[in-house]
Amino acid sequence: MLHFFNHRYTLSFRATLALIICAGAIVPPAARAQEYSTAQEDTETVLAPEDFSPYAGRNFPQIPLWGDSHLHTMVSVDAGTMTRLSQEDAYRFARGEEVTTTHGLRAKLSRPLDWLVISDHAEMYGLMPQLLSGDAQVLSTEQGRLWYEALTAGDAQKAFDTAMEIVASLSDEDPPIDNPKAIKHAWEAYTALADR
């Protein structure tokens, strides 16, 4: 007698046949495969001898890739006022490594991302990490010195108000800190990281 195996259970051929017959009686007629037949001319087009392959004529991606198309890090002035996660942290997180958030929480994805776009703002690029570390080029400006003192004074409300002032300054026609050398340094550090 034939046997079919289904994990832990073994069904005889007769029991399996009985289940198939019962399932056919339960399925409504509208859901049966015969309802979805293909016209002869469509079948001939789809199964034309010169293109007989399930992949012939497909010109679209067939494997979904998962990622993040818009991620800001501490390098962006807006995100950098509230997060201390670096571009390197972002890459590590995307690769499936565990990172610790600004507020001390451990975070890890269930699976690595297939791709990631770090889209930090160009305006005052890299200002926040340079400002918070006391970078001499940034602190050589009056505005940089004032913001640094406010952000590192230990007063949470003053730091928040200063952060909002910094973010609002992005809409000004001219940047309050115009330091091409500092921006170039931040960009070179980022491209070196991205190339690793």
pLDDT, residue 60, reads 79
Report the chain's mean pLDDT, rounded to a whole number: 79
Is residue 130 in some structural domain?
Answer: yes
pLDDT at 40: 61
Is 191 within a domain?
yes
Residue at 83 is within a domain: yes
Look up residue 130 and give its amino acid.
Q
Q: Is the pLDDT of residue 14 over 70?
A: no
Residue 74 located in a structural domain = yes
Decide if 112 contacts 98 (C-beta within 8 A): no
Q: Band the pLDDT of 77: cuts 50, 70, 90.
A: confident
Q: What is the pLDDT of residue 33?
A: 45
CB atoms within 10 A of CB 93: 21
Examine residue 76 and state whether it is found in any structural domain, yes or no: yes
The structure tokens listed for 23 are: 């399932």
Q: Which helix (H) or strand (E) holds 99?
A: strand 99-100
Asked which of 12-16, 39-43, 76-80, 176-180 is least confident by mean pLDDT, the reply is: 12-16
In a domain, 36, yes or no: no
**Residue 135 and residue 152 in contact, taking contact as beta carbons nearer than 8 Å:** no
Residues 150 and 90: their CA atoms lie apart, in Å, by 27
When pLDDT is averaged across residues 23-29 and rounded to a whole number, the result is 46
Is 70 exceeded by the pLDDT of residue 35? no
Helix 180-195 and helix 87-94: axis angle, to 10°?
20
Coil, strand or helix: which one is 117?
A: strand
Is residue 77 in a domain? yes
In-domain check, residue 20: no
Per mean pLDDT, which range of 51-55, 136-140, 186-190 is the poorest?
51-55
Query: In total, how many domains does the chain have?
Result: 1
* pLDDT band at 7; cut points 50, 70, 90: very low
What pLDDT, on a 0 to 100 scale, did the predictor assign at position 4?
38
CB 111 within 8 A of CB 172: no
In the predicted structure, residue 189 carries a pLDDT above the cut 70: yes
Structural domain span for residue 139: 67-195
- Threshold 0.75, pTM exceeds: no
Give how far Cα 116 sits from Cα of 60, 96, 195, Å.
21, 12, 14
